[in-house]
């Protein structure tokens, strides 16, 4: 594509592709706006989800997976909301919508696999929620930390969707050498995956607290607003890596120096949040690993949603 014969820069290609990806589906807009309404009933939520039959189908399929541990088959969305709670249904719907929108028709590469991407995102979400509870944050902050963690790397999925092979090469270059992925991304399209993810969720009309978590998960926030939430998600991301839930297939830190560096950074971030660092290798590790294992079918649901929308 070009304007007056001039080829588009990658930054322009990205902007055009993002606007072509459209807005948050109306169902999700309504779900997000109702999340903090105390008067909302499971029936109201079920009605909204049912407006989107393909989403409703995916939700029922997902809730009947082992992840949620519900012994009997759930046959309608109202039951799902009653049994799982509004927050879980919202998170599930949002993850499914993103997967259907972003992951359809994308081939997998040696380094970029959807299963690793979603498992890393889920591990970050779970770790972020555990940390929020550990530091005594409210239920609302803990739920937001989960969702912020789930979406923190969504910019990688956008970049992979738009530039598939070139982005896979970039990832491989960062895994093979000493160059940081963020640095390579900036050089490639003038934005990091954190910026791209932030822009993407802005275009989906999401709350500024989530935008802030995404934009700042690799940097110090420029504004003190949502600072605590950002610090929680940042630590959640590092913990996911420390516990072996890496975003890219080949990025398991076999290099001792890298592993030590990661551990030092985790301890530094835990210290900032006044978390007892002994818990990082004991209770928190056990909890995160066991919850991620239990949630494996959430990852499967995301992959299935991407395949279904092909
Ligand atoms: Fe990231
Ligand atoms: Fe990450």
CATH number reported for the structural domain that contains residue 240 in this entry: 1.10.3210.10
Please indicate, yes or no, if residue 84 is contained in any of the structural domains.
no
Please indicate, yes or no, if residue 217 is contained in any of the structural domains.
yes
CA distance 241 to 292: 13
Please indicate, yes or no, if residue 76 is contained in any of the structural domains.
no
The pLDDT value recorded for residue 310 is 46
Please indicate, yes or no, if residue 82 is contained in any of the structural domains.
no
Range of the domain at 134: 2-22+108-303
Neighbouring C-alpha atoms within 13 Å toward the C-beta of 213: 30
Residue 258 has pLDDT above 90, yes or no: no
Q: What total number of domains does the chain contain?
A: 1
pLDDT tens-place string over residues 166-214: 999 999 999 887 689 999 999 999 999 999 999 998 888 788 888 999 9
Q: Encoding tokens for residue 308?
A: 């279904």
Q: Encoding tokens for residue 114?
A: 């959807």
Contact 129, 145 (CB under 8 A): yes
Pairing of strands 2-3, 6-7: antiparallel
CA distance 243 to 259: 11
pLDDT tens-place string over residues 100-148: 888 877 888 888 998 999 999 999 999 999 999 999 999 888 988 998 9
Neighbouring C-alpha atoms within 13 Å toward the C-beta of 288: 35
pTM: 0.87
238 C-alpha to center of ligand 2: Å?
7
214 C-alpha to center of ligand 1: Å?
8
Q: Return all residues near 115 (Cβ < 8 A) that are at least 6 apart.
A: 299, 303
Q: Which ligand places an atom closest to the C-alpha of 180?
A: 1
Residues with CB under 5 A from ligand 2 (ion): 153, 237
194 C-alpha to center of ligand 1: Å?
6
């Amino acid at each position: 594509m070009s304007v007056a014969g001039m080829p588009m820069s990658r930054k322009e290609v990205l902007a055009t592709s993002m606007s072509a990806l459209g807005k948050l589906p109306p169902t999700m807009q309504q779900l997000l706006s109702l999340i903090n309404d105390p008067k909302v009933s499971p029936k109201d939520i079920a009605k909204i989800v049912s407006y989107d039959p393909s989403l409703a189908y995916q939700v029922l399929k997902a809730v009947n997976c082992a992840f949620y541990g519900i012994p009997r088959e759930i046959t309608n969305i109202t039951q799902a909301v009653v049994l799982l709670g509004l927050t879980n249904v919202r998170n599930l719907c949002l993850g499914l919508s993103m997967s259907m929108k972003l992951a359809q028709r994308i081939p997998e590469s040696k380094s970029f696999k959807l299963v690793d991407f979603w498992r890393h995102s889920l591990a970050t979400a779970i770790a972020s929620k555990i940390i929020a509870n550990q530091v005594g944050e409210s239920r609302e902050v803990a739920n937001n930390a989960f969702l912020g963690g789930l979406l923190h790397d969504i910019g990688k999925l956008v970049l992979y969707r738009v530039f598939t092979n070139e982005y896979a090469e970039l990832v491989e270059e960062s895994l093979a050498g000493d160059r940081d992925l963020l640095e390579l991304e900036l050089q490639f399209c003038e934005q990091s995956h954190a910026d791209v993810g932030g822009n993407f969720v802005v275009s989906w009309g999401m709350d500024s607290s989530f935008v802030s978590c995404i934009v700042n998960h690799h940097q110090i926030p420029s504004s003190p607003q949502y600072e605590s939430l950002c610090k929680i998600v940042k630590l959640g991301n590092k913990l996911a890596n420390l516990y072996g839930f890496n975003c890219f297939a080949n990025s398991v830190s076999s290099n001792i120096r890298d592993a030590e560096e990661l551990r030092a950074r985790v301890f530094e971030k835990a210290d900032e949040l006044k978390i007892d660092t002994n818990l990082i290798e004991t209770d928190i590790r056990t909890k995160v690993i066991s919850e991620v294992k239990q949630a494996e079918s959430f990852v499967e649901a995301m992959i299935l949603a991407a395949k279904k929308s092909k």
